A and B are shown apart, each in its own frame.
Chain A
């Protein structure tokens, strides 16, 4: 179960709607009490423009987190003692599944999960209207990503 605070869910939904029709991406940091949403830049369009052969998709159907944002997240882990609770991204005009590309990129380039303890949240929206969010995490026994339910923190 991934428990998210209501504010956190609102914030990642707002990000997904603002980035529509492009995919958004970011991280949810947590210190055990509070949660912090870190919106990151999706640099897929830039990479696609530079090298369309290597990056055939643009930001409407793919995301690549800005490396500068990614190092900042790691610095926050180091300096603030927070953990990366989840990475999130959106699927504009698509359902909230963990796609083949989501799986392969989460295990590139070494064929094992880069963040085995971090949940991936996928937000589905159609025409700037949020449909649903689903969460996926690495399951050691099946060596695959499996869906985990999303709950609201504080709800009993």
Chain B
């Protein structure tokens, strides 16, 4: 299964400045592993030490936040688009 993955600006130095890359995998977790195989260092940016998606990282399958799907085990099909987008937050 090949999906297109959108890379946020701060991580593009890991992907040779590419905003979109292809990745293989049947779910989000294996997509992240495949990204790591091609772009070393990207996994630790996306996941914490325990392997969970970092709190400030939103991952979408097509336009759906994976928190409201099956998280890391969300199935990915051929031609899907995975977007990695950092959260917007703050406060006084």
Chain A residues at the B interface, C-beta cutoff of 8 Å:
23, 25, 40, 44, 54, 57, 61-65, 67-68, 70-72, 74-75, 87, 89, 91, 94, 97, 99, 101-102, 105-106, 108-110, 112-116, 120
Closest to B86 in A: A114
Shortest Cβ distance from residue B78 to the other chain A in the assembled complex, whole angstroms: 21
Question: With A75-B63, A105-B56, A109-B55 given, is the CB distance from A115 to B9 under 8 Å?
Answer: yes
Known: A71-B60, A71-B63. A114 touches B90 (CB 8 A): no
B88 touches A71 (CB 8 A): no
Pairs A-B, 7 closest by C-beta atoms: A62-B91, A102-B90, A65-B88, A114-B86, A108-B56, A105-B89, A91-B92
- The answer on a CB contact under 8 Å between B45 and A62 is no
Chain B: interface size category: 20 to 34
Q: What is the interface of chain B, defined by CB distance below 8 A to chain A?
A: 6, 8-11, 45, 54-58, 60, 63, 65, 67, 83, 85-92
Chain B residues with CB under 8 Å of A113's CB are 10
- Which residue of A is nearest B8, CB measured? A114
Q: How far is the CB of B88 from chain A (nearest CB, A)?
A: 4
- Provide the residues of chain B in CB contact with A72, threshold 8 Å: 63
Closest to A116 in B: B9
Q: In the complex the two chains form, is A65's CB within 8 Å of B87's CB?
A: yes
Residues of chain A within 8 A (CB-CB) of B45 are: 109-110
CB distance A110 to B11 under 8 Å? yes
Inter-subunit contact A63/B65 (CB<8 Å):
no
A63 & B58 in contact (Cβ 8 Å cutoff): no
Q: Evaluate contact between A65 and B65: CB separation under 8 angstroms.
A: no
Inter-chain pairs besides A25-B88, A62-B91, A89-B90, 18 sampled, C-beta below 8 Å? A44-B89, A44-B91, A63-B89, A64-B88, A64-B89, A65-B89, A67-B65, A67-B87, A70-B58, A71-B65, A71-B83, A91-B92, A106-B90, A109-B56, A110-B10, A113-B10, A114-B10, A115-B9
